[in-house]
Structures are given as structure tokens and as C-alpha cells.
Amino acid sequence: MTMNDLRADTASIAEFAATAATMSVEMQAAGLGAAAAGPLLLGPVFGVIGGDFVAAFATAHAAHLTSIEKLSGVLGGISATALANAAAYEGTEVATTAALAAGAVGLEA
């Protein structure tokens, strides 16, 4: 294999896409779990004295939830792109094979 060769294992690419999709769903579930453990639960624990801490925690918690949501979206995008690429590679392979076979008709020795 030289630097000019390109080999794409479409089954492995599709498997990677499935793994990324699973990770996206798992991140969504993690986000739901994190949202359920929000700063509202801390109010009664810290009371009036801990109000500043709870406010700061609420800001950090919101940023954390946003990051989880973004990561889930990125993983979903990676999955969709990998799956589309696997299909494109496979389609190109099939089309090229058919074109070469059609061009070779009558050339058999």
C-alpha cells in the first residue's frame, strides 16, 4: 500500500457511527440525570446563608448542562457523518465496479 492508496472499511465506519450514536444517547441520559440533580435541591440544605453559593452553583450547573447538550449533539453529528461517508464509499465502490465491468465487456482473453 502506498500513500496514494485509500482503503475504507465501510463496516468499521458504520460500527463507529453506531458507537457514536450510542454515546450521544448516553450523553442525553446523563444530561437528564444532571438536570434532576439541580441547584434547587441545595436551597433547603444551605438556607439563606448559602444563597450566594447556590447562585454560583446554579450558574455552573447551567453551563454544565449546556456542555452536555452540545457534546450529545456533536456525537450525533459525528454518527450521521460517519454513516453518510460509509454509504458514500460503498456507493462509489459499487458504481466504479459496475462501470469498470461494463467497460471490460469483450476484453476477456
Q: pLDDT value at position 70?
A: 98
Dist CA 11 CA 85 (whole Å): 11
Dist CA 99 CA 79 (whole Å): 30
Q: pLDDT value at position 109?
A: 60
Residue 103: band (very low, low, confident or very high) from pLDDT cuts 50, 70, 90: confident
Dist CA 18 CA 29 (whole Å): 17
* 3 vs 9, residue with greater confidence: 9
- Single out the residue of 3, 16, 27, 22 nearest to residue 86, CA to CA: 16
Domain definitions of the chain by residue range: 10-98
pTM: 0.80
Q: pLDDT value at position 3?
A: 65
Percent of the chain with pLDDT over 90: 71
- Check if the beta carbon of residue 93 is closer than 8 Å to that of residue 74: no
Dist CA 49 CA 43 (whole Å): 10
